[in-house]
Amino acid sequence: MATEKIPHRKDVPDAHRWDLTPLFAADASWQEEFAAVEDRLKGYARFRGKIGDSAQDLKAALEYHLAVTRRLERLYTYAHLRSDEDKSNQQHLGLYRKAVNLHTRASELSSFMTPEIQAIADEVMETFLSDPVLRPFRFYLEKILRYKPHTLGEPEEQILAMSGEVGQAASQIFGQLDNVDLNFGMIVEEDGSEVELSHGNFMTFLLHPNRGIRKQAFDRYYRAYEALKNTLGTALSCSIKKDFFYARARNFANCRAAGLFADNVPEALTVNLITTVRANLAPLFKYFQFRRKALGLDTLHFYDTYVPIVAGIEFRMSYEEAVAVAIRALKPLGSEYTRILAQGLAGGWVDRYENRGKRSGAYSSGCYDSPPYILLNYEERSLNSLYTLVHEAGHSMHSYYANHNQPYVDHQYTIFVAEVASTFNENLLSRYLMEYYRDDPRMKAFILNREIDNIRATFYRQTMFAEFENRTHQLVEDNEPLTLEQITDQYRELLETYFGDAVVIDPALELECLRIPHFYSAFYVYKYATGISAAIALAERVCNGGKPDRQAYLDFLKLGGSKFPLEELQEAGVDMRSAGPVEMTVNHFDYLLERLKSEIDESSLLMQGK
């Protein structure tokens, strides 16, 4: 029987890889720039003790620092992209580690700057900020001044800067284990052929119509985590303790407050999100019950929660076809948006397919001086891959517009608004597909099913993840030992809450918390839930409004990081401080479920318990 194996990086055609030459022509060019930037670091010394002498001196120091940072980001971007192509490539891992180390040294040598800026008397700083020479840096400086209660003296800041590389140890260990060392084995298909199980195709197997194959993939996948659960549990525990260390060191009330501070997001926003979602789990339970009945099952397990409930639809779409669909779906955003995106997706922005050792999942990444690159593990048999492409395209176009409309000092938008741009695109794709298949009730039901599952995964599931982060960090803050048992017990309680009696919780699912990369970037996941809530509200405005609504959205993308995220969203037309967008998402989920029910003819569409 045929055996399908994942290719090595050297066997991937150039046309399927991203083009990193806009960053550096080759590794040798990177090494030359590395040496030049490394030599440049010693120039920080001439600004020490002089930042507060005048507005002009402050300007000179900021310009020097931002110029170094810009070059560092270019080095880091190239190194991390090359490393993510193949995590087993030691040469590129070496470049990545050198880039991280150089960034740590730069942070150490520039660590005097923030305390010196914050030491400037308020009345003097007010005079400085009114000087035209500092006008381009006003918001940048205001953000630094916000941290005044959380900034230490120069020696302490230097020590914290020196700890940066060590602080990433838990995340690095998890990344190597998860992307390189785990072996999931082979899956035996119905025809007897074998396919190697991987991060990239795990979801494809969960979409398989044969329940036995779904269960086989689920069991094999989590067997690998079972074998390493103690190591992974320790890595996660150490990462959370690292968060607590930095929160305490910087005088924050708790880890969550520290995690939300940079975005100027009140803790009440995440509390209200969790409270509102918990109070509105009934539509989710109703959907699970409907899914169980539609699949003809006595009990619903996790490995039954992704497979389409509509029978007989085999999705297959090449990458090139997916790009064409994406461009048509995003037409409401105008010809300029779609033209730029089409050129990037067909050109060198995207690393398309899985190869051995490649980082799992997908992301958009880049810097001010590069294209907005996209890493994919595109799978032609998965509708999710089409949605992932459109999702990451949203991030990349956000970066494109921000970089082309803001100076370097203000270009970098926050993750909070980033998740709006990506899920907004997914919403437009669903709208397009529903219209495209308007005369095909089976396909419409298929798309509705997928849209419901997307909201479930992005809204309900990520809120559950956010609650897990709150709980585990609270345990550490209360000086409780965060053992593997504590971690999995907390996670199981949440699984039981968010699945209710509608889904059987298999013991292996308790280990899911050990495989989520975002838990190593704490207090990030809630932004998926708020992001999709804002995106649903904004998509409704753009698709049903006029040109001013579209322009307001495009202007929002162009803002980059020139304002705090909640202010930027208000300008786009949505207030995330209110419960309205979250409640709208719950209602939208329930509406889609009722619409799905109305589209389905049980005698012809359902899978009848396969």
Q: Which strand (E) or helix (H) includes residue 186?
A: strand 186-188
Tell me what pLDDT residue 606 has: 52
Domain boundaries, the chain: 10-167
- Residue 492 phi, psi (nearest 5): -65, -40
Tell me what pLDDT residue 458 has: 92
Integer angstrom CA distances of residue 170 from 231, 236, 489, 519, 520: 10, 7, 21, 11, 8
Tell me what pLDDT residue 603 has: 41
The 10 Å CB-count burial string (b at 16+, else e) for 441-474 is: bbbbbbbbbbbbbbbbebbbbbbbbbbbbbbbbe
- Alpha-carbon distance of 453 to 309, in angstroms, equals 11
Pairing state between β 350-351 and 373-375 = parallel
One-character DSSP codes across 533-550: HHHHHHHHHHHHS-HHHH
**Which amino acid, 34?**
F
Tell me what pLDDT residue 575 has: 94
Annotated active-site residue in 157, 392, 419, 469 = 392
Tell me what pLDDT residue 191 has: 86
Q: Do 216 and 187 meet the contact criterion of CB atoms below 8 Å apart? A: yes
Give the number of other CB atoms < 10 A from CB of residue 166: 10
Q: Which CATH class is domain 10-167?
A: mainly alpha
Tell me what pLDDT residue 604 has: 52
Tell me what pLDDT residue 441 has: 86
For the chain, residues with pLDDT lower than 70 are 1-3, 601-610
Tell me what pLDDT residue 381 has: 85
Question: What angle separates helix 484-499 from helix 229-249, to the nearest 10 degrees?
Answer: 90
- Alpha-carbon distance of 345 to 18, in angstroms, equals 10
What pLDDT, in 10s, does the model give residues 391-421? 999 999 999 999 999 999 999 999 889 989 9
CA angle 124, 414, 516 (to 5 degrees): 135
Task: Say whether 196 sits in a helix, a strand or coil.
Answer: strand
Integer angstrom CA distances of residue 210 from 215, 541, 607: 9, 40, 10
CB neighbours of 151 closer than 8 A, spacing ≥ 6?
114, 115, 118, 157, 250
What tokens does 245 get?
A: 């260390």
Tell me, yes or no, if 392 is annotated catalytic.
yes
